[in-house]
Structure 1
Amino acid sequence: MTAPPTKEEILSTMKEAEPLLAFYDELSSEEKSKLYKQLSTLNLSEARQWFVDSEEQRSPSSAEDFRPIPRSHHFAQTELHEVVLDQLWNTGMDAIAKGEVCAIVLAGGQATRLGSSQPKGTIPLGINAAFGDSLLGIQAAKIALLQALAGERDHQTPGKIHWAVMTSPGTEQATREHVQMLAKHHGFDFDEQITIFSQDEIAAYDEKGEFLLGTKSSVVASPNGNGGLYSAISAHLPRLRAKGIKYFHVYCVDNILCKVADPHFIGFAVSKEADVATKCVAKQQGELVGSVCLDHGKPRVVEYSELGAELAEQKTSDGKYLFSAGSIANHFFTMDFMDRVCSPSSRLPYHRAHKKIAFVDSNGDVIKPEKPNGIKLEQFIFDVFELSERFFIWEVPRNEEFSPLKNHQSVGVDCLSTCQKDLAYVNELWLNRAGAILNTTNRLFLKTMASYNGENLQELRHREITDQSIETDHEINKFFVNH
């Protein structure tokens, strides 16, 4: 094993690291190597400038600068006729059958708010709706199901949906192992069909812009935000283009209701010749999610605080919010657009988040602050929207498509129990639409592979679904998770 560099050797190429080497001489050889490896990846010289630049955010916009996305570019799925929806579905399925679709899951975040040491996408859900019983497990099953549906309608060799998984240094290994297991189960060719890549980490700062040690042998660092996608995936785009990929569906790992590679969404964007499209839900009163709107005529996501309470609460003549498009981090991009915005040096602006950050002080003691004491920087995926030339919104029903797993169970919102409840609600909705008669005391979960969007449930029409029939009747229980 190579001996770690001396303190002087590190400082000869990385003078910004000096405060982070305060305890270097006390460290074991292994700890020194670990710290040096981390320092080498953090780009500390540029990180100093990022902190300075992040203070000078775009000049604030005023109420006169904001406009809703025009109705000609904002379509609500629930307002479209079934014939139109079928056409969009077929357009999306054609793209899938031809192997033109890549689903990118943003899975680099650490599940700190959940109190878990596992990556969020691998945490057991306690549902068993899909192999792996995880968010990634449900998403893999949806990809497998869509491929099967594309094969049925195409009567040829169906295309594969390419699955790209963005991890971070802290989630990469566990996520890779979990996805390898899922790929083997579903018969995905791991090397051909799956790309796992890691976003960069960025060092955290104290309020003066100084870097922080988390332990004597590690720097406080975290993934650089979902906007880190563009620099991280750039090296993989030529290979994906060579495979015939034309369209990307980008989504967050934490949404249990996400329709991965949604044919309706892809079909809509393709039919409109969109280079960028985003899924939204209608905002609810007092909700603090970002609004998709125009700022000086360019699309972007505006935070509630920037929009201001007056504009945020303004309504149209039909009683809907004027700025109604709530962002849910669910996007469509063409390959040509990604080629334009992605490069290894893609540097979207960094945004500041004021956080409580535990750190090691000059005495070597770990300090756990009670109030925010530092700054983490992150890039936002939607900061490329303003570069779009044909931008559209696809509005979907919140209760059918958006239920994120963000919080510990004790919070009671966006937690495991609400995800379970919301998934059961969608499954019951599909069963009611199919004409099944529900008469159960337990919560119902369909197997993910049984239906993507409520289709293929016609066998259950006029059938009574009871707790007993789910356990004992094979014609019924093949559709359901049997608890």
Structure 2
Amino acid sequence: MREGGSGVVATSSTSLELSSNSNSSNGSATASIELLSSGPPQVILERLKDYGQEDTFALWDELTLDERHLLVKDIQTLDLSRLDRIIRCSLGVQGVPSPSIEPVPEPSVSTVEQRTLDQREKWWNMGLKAISQGKLAVLLLSGGQGTRLGSSDPKGCFNIGLPSGKSLFQLQAERILCVQKLALQSVNEGSAGFVPIHWYIMTSPFTDEATRKFFEIHKYFGLEADQITFFQQGTIPCVTKDGRFIMETPYRVAKAPDGNGGVYSALKTSKLLEDMAMRGVKYLDCYGVDNALVRVADPTFLGYFIDKGVVAAAKVVRKAYPQEKVGVFVQKGKGGPLSVVEYSELDQQTACAINQETGRLRFCWSNVCLHMFTLDFLNQVANGLEKDSIYHLAEKKIPSVHGYTNGLKLEQFIFDAFTYAPTTALFEVQREEEFAPVKNANGSNFDTPDSARLLVLRLHTRWVVAAGGFLTHSVPLYLTGVEISPLCSYAGENLEAICRGRTFHAPCEISF
């Protein structure tokens, strides 16, 4: 297991102030506390005034010496010049009209009905070859807790109730193991030059320790510890609508994770882009943790990506209905780049617009956070997002020293990368085969563990029947099914020897 950095960057001037007042010797520490008893450190206070954030020390006189020390340390972790640039740029785009949007051009999308068996086989083999050569790495976005699921654990630890009792992390790890086996078989079983798939897992300050422990306890689910790298996304202060820091307590600035798009700056500051290059990685498969059907390191998608020669690609599903709460891919202006527009940004007329030729929604390609990028492009994205410093603003009730305060969380999203892509391709997949989101607790109307579990069981039931197997069941079949271990089959292949002529009683797990 390799360690990645946190993605936190310190401001040079405040870091110097910290080093001058907080040396490791007891005498220096005492001197630091004595200085804090006389008033806020002048250098830091002046620095805060430069950026209009001097109110951070507003309650200084009410703090104990220990609390003053905590406040100073908290401020010293902040890159004030960078934060000032982000706040000004992000607030500055409010009210600025967005470019007009156009439907995604048809040539940019590979639809399910267009694909031939020969194409699928070609892409599958191309993908397996690239994987066997170590050109693909996998990036998991796993910074969220399962709060909406009724759990304080990282989402990936969640058990959606499958017969096996496997967590989301285990399902994904075993799919990586299966793809590795398929890739090895495709070139030469026992090939000495085979390179395992490296798995980069982005956590947050709220999930990092628990995620690492979960993997350790479960012995990395059969993967080698050194083929997994954990790293943390950054946090960013919450601000008022005029850009002032909100204080969570009198001695701590309120902070929140910087969004799943924080992965780009985290990869850069942690030097993991260089790590990937050193490993020979050319392509990165990026996905979110809360999809029970995610095809991690999908050879077909990789082969399609390589064949198209683009720098960015995404799997998409057709929008189920006009008001579905999903972001959709659009083209920004005539001939502009493909981008994602959130459902909240589409007015009803646009969301319901129909293509008269096809009878389908004009804006129908839903983003489901299944992306592929070249490594070279990721370097460009990290630099571009840092230079532009524009974050999405989310109005939230922020816990603060004054109770809950109306404020703003600043976030970047994983799909922000597409704005920088000169070439993008979309790859349609069947929702019922690759998209089983786990976002809300059971009892909610959609995207629950129960709904995800049924999608998995129904898909695997179809695989068993297609492979010549039979099912019996004591409850209605639409409420149950069978689970096939990812170690047996990645996407329904190689099941005849296990299933043909056999009868399985649902619900159950089929494994070796």
Amino acid at match of 1:103: V
In structure 2, the residue matched to 1:125 is: 160
Distance 1:422 1:30 in 2: 53
Q: Does structure 2 conserve the Cα–Cα contact (< 8 Å) formed by 1:230 and 1:346?
A: no
Q: Does structure 2 conserve the Cα–Cα contact (< 8 Å) formed by 1:275 and 1:389?
A: yes
In structure 2, the residue matched to 1:429 is: 462
Change (3 A) 1:440 1:54: same
Amino acid at match of 1:401: E
In structure 1, the residue matched to 2:263 is: 229
Identity, in percent, stands at: 35
1:162 to 198, 204, 228: 198
Distance 1:55 1:173 in 2: 33
In structure 2, the residue matched to 1:308 is: 347
Distance 1:447 1:216 in 2: 51
With the length of structure 1 as denominator, give the TM-score of the two structures.
Answer: 0.87
In structure 1, the residue matched to 2:179 is: 146
Q: Does structure 1 conserve the Cα–Cα contact (< 8 Å) formed by 2:161 and 2:450?
A: no
- Give the deviation of 1:338 after TM superposition: 1.3
In structure 1, the residue matched to 2:500 is: 461
Change (3 A) 1:40 1:421: farther
Moved more, 242-251 or 207-216: 207-216
In structure 1, the residue matched to 2:415 is: 382
Change (3 A) 1:189 1:304: closer
In structure 1, the residue matched to 2:325 is: 288
- Give the deviation of 1:128 after TM superposition: 6.1
Change (3 A) 1:101 1:477: closer
Q: What runs of 5+ residues in structure 1 fail to find an aligned partner? A: 362-366, 471-475
Q: Does structure 2 conserve the Cα–Cα contact (< 8 Å) formed by 1:17 and 1:44?
A: no
Change (3 A) 1:348 1:114: farther
Count of residue pairs the alignment pairs up: 459
Distance 1:454 1:30 in 2: 60
1:41 to 47, 52, 77: 77
- Give the deviation of 1:447 after TM superposition: 1.9
In structure 1, the residue matched to 2:40 is: 8
Superimposed CA distance per residue, residues 178-198 of structure 1 (whole angstroms, 9 cap, x where no aligned partner): 2344554414142xx222221
Change (3 A) 1:346 1:161: farther
2:374 to 327, 334, 339: 334
Distance 2:260 2:220 in 1: 28
Amino acid at match of 1:175: T
Distance 1:50 1:69 in 2: 30
Question: 3-state DSSP class of the match of 2:487?
Answer: helix
Change (3 A) 1:254 1:330: same
Q: What runs of 5+ residues in structure 2 fail to find an aligned partner? A: 1-23
Distance 2:312 2:394 in 1: 27
Question: 3-state DSSP class of the match of 2:316?
Answer: strand
- Give the deviation of 1:17 after TM superposition: 5.8
Distance 2:177 2:120 in 1: 22
Amino acid at match of 1:142: R
Distance 1:46 1:339 in 2: 19
Amino acid at match of 2:233: Q
Distance 2:53 2:154 in 1: 29
Q: Does structure 2 conserve the Cα–Cα contact (< 8 Å) formed by 1:231 and 1:347?
A: no
Distance 1:14 1:441 in 2: 68
Change (3 A) 1:338 1:45: closer
Question: 3-state DSSP class of the match of 2:359?
Answer: coil
Distance 2:213 2:62 in 1: 35
Question: 3-state DSSP class of the match of 2:40?
Answer: helix
In structure 2, the residue matched to 1:102 is: 137
In structure 2, the residue matched to 1:249 is: 285
Distance 2:174 2:426 in 1: 27
Does residue 261 of the first structure (1) align with residue 297 of the second (2)?
yes
In structure 2, the residue matched to 1:473 is: none
Change (3 A) 1:184 1:323: closer
Change (3 A) 1:324 1:146: same
Question: 3-state DSSP class of the match of 1:411?
Answer: coil
User: Highest Rg: 1 or 2?
Assistant: 2
In structure 2, the residue matched to 1:419 is: 452
Change (3 A) 1:167 1:17: farther
In structure 2, the residue matched to 1:400 is: 433
- Give the deviation of 1:421 after TM superposition: 1.8
- Give the deviation of 1:346 after TM superposition: 5.4
Distance 2:295 2:164 in 1: 15
Moved more, 246-255 or 346-355: 346-355
Distance 1:410 1:28 in 2: 47
Distance 2:440 2:452 in 1: 11
Superimposed CA distance per residue, residues 87-106 of structure 1 (whole angstroms, 9 cap, x where no aligned partner): 11111111111111011011
Q: How does 1:17-56 map to 2 (within 5 A)?
A: 18-22=54-58, 34-56=70-92
Q: Does structure 1 conserve the Cα–Cα contact (< 8 Å) formed by 2:160 and 2:450?
A: no
